[in-house]
Structure 1
Amino acid sequence: MKCPYCGHEESKVVDSRSTEDDMSIRRRRECLKCTKRYTTYEKVEDIPVLIIKKDSSREYFDKSKIINGLLKACQKRPVSRMQIETIADNIEKQLSNQMLTEVKSDYIGEMIMENLKSIDDVAYVRFASVYRQFKDINTFMEEIKNLMINK
């Protein structure tokens, strides 16, 4: 880290502490040449995840889109906002932990459905109907039968 005053590359850390949000570390440094002090911040580097959509276009991962889809599927169902946000957070963490830079939207859709299945059957079928683009009542019935068999 170069000193902002003299450009010298060596410094010593005088003080370190977490920021209020615990997302970065604030460090007070002292230049070993000019002895002036300055502050640096250290944080984890976020690697943006690109979502490969069905039409092969790509866009940045957006957790709010998952939350909005879940809110629609869970409308008038006994599913709390906290449960919805937990699902979205878990999916975001899974993607981050897998260190993937690109993910197919199908993969995320399956992750959402797997989470919904354990929370609310009706919300699961609602989400599946949009996600899998059910064409008729028979497709609905097949999904419901599969859900009942696996319970």
Structure 2
Amino acid sequence: MRCPFCGHAETQVAETRVSEDGDFIRRRRRCAGCDKRFTTYERAEVSFPAVVKKDGRRTEYAPAKLRSSFALALRKRPVSTEQMDAAIERVEEKLLNLGVREIPSQSIGELVMRELKKLDKVAYVRFASVYRSFADIEEFKTLVDEVKR
């Protein structure tokens, strides 16, 4: 680590502390050249895969979009905010664990549908009806019958 004061390449770590929530590490360093002290912070860099839309466009993953989709499907349903947050966290964890650079939007939709099916059947049907954009009532009826079983 280079010293921010004199640019010397050698610095020593004097003290290391993990933050209260464990999100980052704080290090106090001392420059071997000018003997000044400074602080650095280490944080894990996590990046979600890019989302490939149906038309081939690539966009950055938007956590707010996922949250709004869950909120809309679960609107006026007996599901707590904590349950919804846990489901969103599971989806995001799966996205990170896939270890891919790009993911089709359909795959994210399928992950959301799996989580909604566990949380609330009505929310699942709401989301699926929009997500799958059924061509006729028979396709919709098939989905409802599947949920009933």
* Percent identity over paired residues: 43
Name the structure 2 match of 1:14: 14
In structure 2, give the amino acid aligned to 1:19.
Answer: S
Compute the RMSD of aligned alpha carbons.
1.4
Name the structure 2 match of 1:29: 29
Q: Deviations over 1:100-134 (max 9, x none)?
A: 22110000100011111111111111100000001
Moved beyond 6 Å, runs of 4+: none
State the SS of the aligned residue for 1:66.
helix
Structure 1: runs of 5 or more not aligned = none
Shift, 1:56, TM fit: 0.9
Greater shift after overlay, 128-137 or 105-114? 128-137
Q: Deviations over 1:57-82 (max 9, x none)?
A: 11111121111111111112111222
Name the structure 2 match of 1:92: 92
CA–CA separation in structure 2 for the residues paired with 1:47 and 1:64: 15
Shift, 1:20, TM fit: 4.7
Shift, 1:18, TM fit: 2.3
Name the structure 2 match of 1:60: 60
Structure 2: runs of 5 or more not aligned = none
1:38 corresponds to 2:38: yes
1:134 corresponds to 2:141: no
Greater shift after overlay, 68-77 or 12-21? 12-21
1:112 corresponds to 2:109: no
- Equivalenced residues, count: 149
TM-score normalised by L of structure 1: 0.91
